[in-house]
A and B are shown apart, each in its own frame.
Chain A
Amino acid sequence: MKRTLSYLFIGIFFGIVMYKSEAASWFRIYEMFQFQSFHMYGIIGSALILGILGVQLIKRNKLKSFFGEPIEIEPKEKGIWQYLYGGIIFGLGWALAGACPGPIYTLIGAGYLSILVVLAGALLGTFIYGLLQKKLPH
Chain B
Amino acid sequence: MDCFKDFRYGLPTDLGYYSEQMGWQASPFKLDLTKEPKSLIKSFYTVIFAFVFLWVNGHLKKDQLKILKFMEFIFEPWPWYVAGPLIALTMFLLIFLGKKFGMSTNLETICTLCGAGKKADYFDLNWKNQRWNLVVLLGAVIGGFIGAHLLSHGSAVAIHPDTISILRELGFQSAGTAYLPDELFGLEALTDIKSLSILLIGGVLLGFGARYAAGCTSGHAISGLSNLQVPSLIAVIGFFIGGLFMIHVLFPLIF
Residue of A nearest to B198 (CB): A96
B207 touches A124 (CB 8 A): yes
Q: Which residues of B contact A18 (CB under 8 A)?
A: 140, 143-144, 147
Instruction: Select B181's contact among A14, A15, A26, A73, beta carbons within 8 Å.
Output: A26
Q: Would you call B166 an interface residue if the criterion is a C-beta within 8 Å of the partner chain's C-beta atoms?
A: yes
* Bound: A20/B155 CA distance, A: 10
A121 touches B144 (CB 8 A): no
0/1 string, A17-42, CB within 8 A of B gives 1: 11111111111111111101111111
Tell whether A118 pairs with B203 under 8 Å between CB atoms, given A34-B166, A46-B84: yes
Q: Which residues of A contact B120 (CB under 8 A)?
A: 127, 130-131, 133
Q: How far is the CB of A84 from chain B (nearest CB, A)?
A: 5
Stretch at the interface among B23-31, B38-46, B60-68, B129-137: B129-137
| B interface, size bucket | 35 or more
* Interface stretch of the complex, out of B13-21, B47-55, B99-107: B99-107
Residue of A nearest to B137 (CB): A105
**Interface positions of B from 66 to 107, Cβ below 8 Å from A:** 74, 77-88, 90-100, 103-104, 106-107
- A48 contacts B207, CB within 8 Å? no
> What 1/0 flags go to B217-245 for Cβ under 8 Å of A?
11011111111111110111111111111
A-B contact count (CB 8 A): 513
User: For window 95-128 of chain B, which residues contact chain A by CB distance below 8 Å?
Assistant: 95-100, 103-104, 106-108, 110-111, 114, 116, 119-120, 122-123
Interface size class of A (residues with CB under 8 A): 35 or more
Q: Given A30-B167, A112-B185, are A47 and B140 also a contact pair (CB < 8 Å)?
A: no
By a beta-carbon cutoff of 8 Å, the part of chain A in contact with chain B is 3-4, 6-34, 36-48, 50-52, 54-55, 58, 63, 65-67, 69, 71, 73-80, 82-102, 104-115, 117-131, 133, 136
Q: Could you give 13 example pairs across A and B, Cβ below 8 Å?
A: A16-B147, A21-B77, A22-B78, A27-B179, A27-B181, A30-B167, A33-B248, A90-B210, A90-B239, A96-B198, A101-B206, A107-B144, A113-B190
